[in-house]
């Protein structure tokens, strides 16, 4: 057992955890008898079932809006389902998937949007890698915020309590089943899941040894102002302010024409969109021009507003702009489509608590209300991560640079906020917190860049090597103290470039100064897309991205 213990502390690959009887029959029997051994405070019901590898689970009682009707399971595991009250009128539904070949590791998954949807694909992904994996419904069912109406307790679950409760209970379930405590605990989530990861680091530092948080929805109150305001900004499709769908590809090409060269490589991807100060004036329609290829002056003003920071009625900063490049991904059909965006439910059911409120009436005068209320400190903007650092925690933060749902320009603000709050230089932050900007990546997955990084069930990497898999990268950082410097995506087939200026992939990122000079042509030719951590202040016009 001493040798096995050492392997669990130093190895990265899942290892079968030793038990008195590790046969399949014994595993099934222990699984079925588990509920009788569990002591879960406030649990309304708890069941357990053995699930054999190759089984396709179906979820007939799941809310259809979650879009998860089934999930294929690739390893033998024990599936535990429980419901736990968090107050007299709120509670969580959660699942724990306990693999037969347990690595001694625990992992919690997160959620997305305003939703109360267990992300089974992420639980399966983690369990397949040997983690005892848990997930909750975030305190309510379905992808909308309707459950927030007249119920602050449900809002509290959504803000922080559901994930933390699931972690505490999940660790108890895991320890009871395996007969021993986990060795290390991890978190993985994106979008709302990214915010939840940062909330854990800020408020529950002891919950996790390692956190992977992508495209985080922190600065939550102002984020919901920003994303909800696109509907009043563009208006419905009949409004003269609305930009038709067919014009957005023209705008996207104009943005590339103006800005693609700024990173030193004309390759169709903005490596550092923060350098792009887009001006749509050149697309304003001339006399007799086809309106599907140009903009009216009113529409051009809409575009200018989209690519400008959001200000309130007093002219105070609220939230960063949509970064150029977002128009080539989800933004056009999610944010600029002249329809109500899902975040409006936060205003309707949580802030105004009025099911009849019309999202088209959201005004700049309203923005301070949400940030002032800051219900249950949902903003998730605490800059002091010293408790997480001091307990040895490691935090890996990433954000796609063409994210069309949560602008990538908000993540650098938080990185700098932590640096200033803790009075730490980037090299000092590197010891526990690293931020990766992934060019060409959309919201959490997809896009023309290196997005296949093993950050969840929708985006499993082809390899478990830490250089190719962000989850394995955080495991290695926690266990072996080897911090990630770069990783690459199997999306790009490692084809060397001959005609495009390359970027450095040395162990320390190479800075390309796109304002005061800088030349990419003398950097050694390597693979096209590598993710490199940010290790200098973001402010100013510097590019430290990927190669």
| Active centre residues (catalytic) | 191, 403, 443
Q: Which residues contact 247 (CB under 8 A, 6 or more apart)?
A: 283, 292, 293, 294, 295, 299
In 172-240, the DSSP E strands lie at: 184-190, 210-214
Find the helix or strand (DSSP H, E) in which 109 lies: strand 105-109
DSSP per position, 389-453: HHTT-EEEEEEETT-SSS-TTSHHHHHHHHHHHTT--HHHHTTTEEEEEETT--SSS-SSSS--S
For tokens 């409004």, the residue is: 239
Tokens representing 180 are: 């021993």
Do residues 335 and 223 make contact, with C-beta atoms less than 8 angstroms apart?
A: no
Instruction: Please state the length of the chain.
Output: 547
Tokens representing 311 are: 């200000």
For tokens 């990783």, the residue is: 487
In 19-126, the DSSP E strands lie at: 43-51, 56-58, 70-72, 77-87, 90-99, 105-109
Q: Whole-angstrom Cα distance, residue 429 to residue 420? A: 11
Pairing between strand 394-400 and 433-438?
Answer: parallel
For tokens 């200098």, the residue is: 536
Do residues 389 and 423 make contact, with C-beta atoms less than 8 angstroms apart?
A: no
Q: Whole-angstrom Cα distance, residue 519 to residue 502? A: 10
Q: What's the N-to-C CA distance of the chain in angstroms?
A: 44
């Amino acid at each position: 057992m001493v040798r096995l213990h050492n392997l669990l502390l130093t190895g990265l690959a899942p290892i079968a955890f030793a038990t008195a009887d590790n046969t399949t029959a014994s595993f099934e029997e222990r699984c079925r008898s588990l509920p009788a051994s569990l002591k879960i405070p406030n649990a309304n019901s708890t069941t357990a079932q053995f699930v054999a590898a190759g089984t396709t689970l179906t979820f007939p009682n799941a809310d259809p809006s979650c879009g998860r009707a089934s999930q294929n399971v690739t390893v033998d595991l024990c599936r535990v389902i429980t419901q736990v009250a968090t107050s007299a009128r709120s509670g969580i539904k959660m699942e724990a998937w306990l693999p037969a070949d347990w690595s001694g590791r625990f992992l919690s998954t997160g959620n997305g949007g305003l939703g109360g949807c267990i992300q089974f694909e992420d639980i399966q992904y983690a369990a397949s890698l040997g983690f005892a994996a848990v997930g909750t419904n975030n305190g309510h069912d379905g992808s909308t915020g309707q459950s927030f109406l007249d119920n602050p307790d449900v809002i509290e679950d959504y803000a922080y309590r559901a994930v933390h409760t699931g972690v505490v209970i999940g660790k108890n379930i895991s320890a009871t089943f395996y007969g021993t405590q986990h060795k290390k605990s991890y978190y993985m989530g994106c979008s709302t899941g990214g915010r939840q990861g940062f909330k854990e680091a800020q408020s529950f530092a002891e919950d996790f040894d390692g956190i992977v948080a992508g495209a985080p929805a922190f600065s939550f109150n102002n984020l919901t102002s920003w994303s909800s305001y696109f509907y009043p900004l563009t208006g419905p499709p009949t409004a003269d302010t609305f930009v038709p769908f067919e014009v957005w590809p023209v705008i996207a090409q104009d943005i590339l024409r103006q800005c693609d060269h700024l990173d030193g490589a004309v390759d169709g991807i903005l490596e550092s969109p923060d350098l792009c100060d887009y001006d749509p004036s050149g697309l304003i329609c001339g006399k007799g021009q086809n309106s599907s290829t140009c903009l009216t002056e009113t529409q051009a003003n809409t575009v200018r507003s989209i690519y400008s920071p959001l200000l309130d009625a007093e002219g105070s900063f609220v939230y960063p702009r949509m970064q150029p490049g977002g128009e080539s991904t989800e933004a056009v059909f999610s944010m600029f489509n002249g329809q109500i965006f899902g975040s409006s439910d936060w205003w309707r059911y949580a802030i105004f608590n009025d099911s009849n409120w019309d999202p088209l009436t959201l005004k700049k005068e309203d923005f301070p209300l949400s940030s002032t209320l800051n219900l249950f400190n949902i903003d998730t903007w605490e800059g002091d991560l010293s408790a997480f650092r001091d307990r040895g925690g490691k935090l890996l933060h990433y954000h796609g640079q063409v994210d069309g749902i949560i602008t990538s320009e908000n993540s650098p603000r938080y990185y700098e906020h932590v640096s200033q709050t803790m009075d730490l230089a980037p090299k000092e932050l590197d010891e526990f917190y690293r931020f990766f900007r992934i060019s060409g990546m959309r919201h959490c997955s997809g896009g023309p860049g290196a997005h296949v990084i093993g950050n969840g069930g929708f985006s499993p990497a082809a390899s478990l090597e830490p250089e190719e898999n962000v989850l394995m990268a955080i495991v290695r950082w926690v266990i072996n103290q080897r911090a990630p410097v770069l990783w690459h995506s199997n999306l790009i087939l490692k084809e060397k470039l001959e005609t495009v200026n390359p970027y450095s992939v040395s162990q320390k990122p190479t800075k390309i100064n796109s304002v005061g000079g800088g030349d990419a042509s003398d950097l050694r030719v390597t693979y096209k897309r590598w993710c490199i951590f940010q290790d200098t202040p973001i402010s100013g016009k510097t590019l430290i991205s990927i190669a």
